[in-house]
Amino acid sequence: MLVSLDTPYADTTAADLSFALGLPEQAALHVLPVPGAGLELRLLGASHQVVLAGRCVETVACLPGRTPHLPATVDDPVAGYRFTARVRRLTPAGMAGEVAALKARLTDDPRALVGVFPGSPDAVTALAARVDTGSGVVGWDTWHVYPQTGELVVTSTEVIR
C-alpha cells in the first residue's frame, strides 16, 4: 500500500536513528495490520515501529531522549529474535532507481506499507511483512530513504514463534 504523508519526517539522516525493543506504541502516521500474523506495520514521522502481538515491539526511529545508535545486528536466540541493519550510500540516480523499484515491488503488496514524505518523491519509509506459517517464522524488512544525504537504511527482522 502506497500512502502520501502530510508531515515532514523527523529523522533526516541514518545517524539520527535508534533501535529499541519494548517501547510503548508510538503515535503512527499510518498503520497496516497484517491479517493472520498478529503483526502491525506502523509508519512514524521518525521512521518505523512494528508490533508483533504478545512477542515484541520493535522501533527504529529518531527517539527523543535516546542517544542515536543503530546496531548492525541484534541476535537473541533464546527469544527467537534476530535483527540486522545496514546503511548504503547511493548517488542521486542510484537512489531514484532504488526507490522506483521499491515502490513498484511493494505498492500492491497487501503485506507492505510505503510512506512517501513531502519534499522529495524519494523520501520514503517502507515496511514489508514475511509470514511463513509452516515454520512459524514471522519477519519484516524495512527501508528508510534519505535523499538529502544519499543514504538508504535497510533492516531485516525474523521472529520464531
pTM of this structure: 0.94
pLDDT given at position 34: 94
Q: Tell me which residue of 38, 160, 149 sits closest to 95, measured CA to CA.
A: 149
pLDDT given at position 9: 64
Alpha helices, DSSP H only, in 46-110?
Answer: 92-106
- Asked if residue 26 lies in contact with residue 72, where contact means CB atoms within 8 angstroms, the answer is no
Three-class DSSP category at 71: coil
pLDDT given at position 145: 94
Tell me the chain's radius of gyration from C-alpha atoms.
15
The helix (H) or strand (E) run that includes residue 128 is strand 124-132
Per-residue pLDDT of the chain (161 residues; tens, 9 = 90+): 988 888 866 667 899 999 999 999 999 999 999 988 899 999 998 899 999 998 899 999 988 888 999 999 999 998 899 999 999 999 999 999 999 999 999 999 999 999 998 888 899 999 999 988 788 889 999 999 999 999 999 999 999 87
Which DSSP letter does residue 108 get?
T
Q: The dihedral of CA 52, 58, 59, 60: what is its sign? A: negative
Hey, what's the torsion of the CAs at 83, 87, 92, 95, to 10 degrees? -20
C-alpha cell at 59: 522501533
According to DSSP, the β-strands at 137-146 and 151-160 are antiparallel
Q: Tell me which residue of 138, 143, 137 sits closest to 155, measured CA to CA.
A: 143
Where in the chain are the domains? 2-160
- Asked if residue 150 lies in contact with residue 95, where contact means CB atoms within 8 angstroms, the answer is yes
